[in-house]
Amino acid sequence: MMPMVLVTGGAGFIGCHVCKALLARGYRVRVLDLLVEQVHRGALPVGLPAAAEFIKGDVRDENTLARALRGVDFVIHLAAEVGVGQSMYQIDRYVSVNDLGTAMLFQQMLERPVARVVVASSMSVYGEGLYRGADGENVEDAERESGMWDPLDARGRPLVPIATPEWKRPALASVYALTKFVQERLTLNVCAAYGIEAVALRLFNTYGSGQALSNPYTGVLAIFASRLLNGKAPLVFEDGEQRRDFVHVSDVAEAFVTALEHPRAAGNVYNIGSGESRSILDVAAALAAAMGRDIAPEITGQARAGDIRHCFADISKAERELGFVPRKNFGEGLAELAQWVAQQEAVDRADQARRELEMRGLVA
């Protein structure tokens, strides 16, 4: 009999794709998910495979966890509240679900140990990405001065953003980033103490079909798609020149399965991205074109608390050690996303989310 994998948060956007990849590889799959209203509107997603056993429940409930872990061989831990902006004013919710939920999972796992755990960490733990200074040195602790978009060195000279590797020191700029780093460290530290193998994947901006288009705190491409679908301009913060790494969800799903299986992965942290950087402004325009919408992005000129300027992935470690190679190029991925979005309905809540931030002084 093939091993059983528990996927916490398995009814989420990434979780559905991970479940499909696991089932395609012959694993048995069990999903634990609370189906929170903000993401799921109370319903199971269409993308969750019928072959996956489903348990509705809270990752913070010990009885539910005990039931979910029964007979499980591996765990992929995706359950988390997601959203940098929202985390800055729903602090208790984010810390409770992300960190207490992870602690509760491992508390139950002490009595029901598994062979390996793979946890979803985040590029947000880096804060600002890695930069190179005018003298050629690497700069890990770049900071923006008030009123400046791009970080400068101590002498006021521009810093050049470069791909961020795993060895770059964390700089936890938001509550969300803090909770993801705690999830990552809890997984690696507790598992090592109890002889359970553990892997942490630092995911960069994941996109693709199945994102919650009506959730204004999800990935930026889904937020832009929701705006465009409703005939509105994508809201681009700052000047739009901030750079990110966009990786297709199918590549992310394969990375999770690889991290579950590869002998060398145990005890390690890996960046999972495309290895390419794009400006947010270019991405907004490209998505509008893919969706056939002649709508220019609206540049707000505002900065949100907890946001960073540039961060994109150095994926050489995952390539070298795991053989991870992103297969979906950005043009193909956007076309696929646009085709899926055209068949959906979305309630645009981006303005509401922006007002929530403004009311609390988190946008300037």
- Amino acid code (one letter) for 234: P
Q: What is the CA radius of gyration of the chain?
A: 20
Buried b (16+ CB within 10 A) or exposed e, 221-234: bbbbbbbbbeebbb
CA distance 44 to 49: 10
How many CB atoms are closer than 10 A to CB 300?
A: 15
Of 226, 224, 229, 231, the residue nearest 246 (C-alpha): 224
Angle between helices 280-290 and 330-341 (to 10 degrees): 50
CA distance 36 to 170: 29
User: What Å distances lie between residue 142 and 170, 241, 306, CA to CA?
Assistant: 12, 17, 14
Angle at 248 between CA 346 and CA 44, to 5 degrees: 45
How crowded is the C-beta side of 89, counted as CA atoms within 13 Å?
16
Q: What are phi and psi for residue 25, nearest 5 degrees?
A: -90, 0
341, 213 in Cβ contact below 8 A?
yes
The single residue of 131, 176, 207, 270 carrying the catalytic annotation is: 176
How many CB atoms are closer than 10 A to CB 64?
A: 18
Of 30, 43, 36, 34, the residue nearest 73 (C-alpha): 30
Active site residue 176: yes
Residues annotated as part of the active site: 176
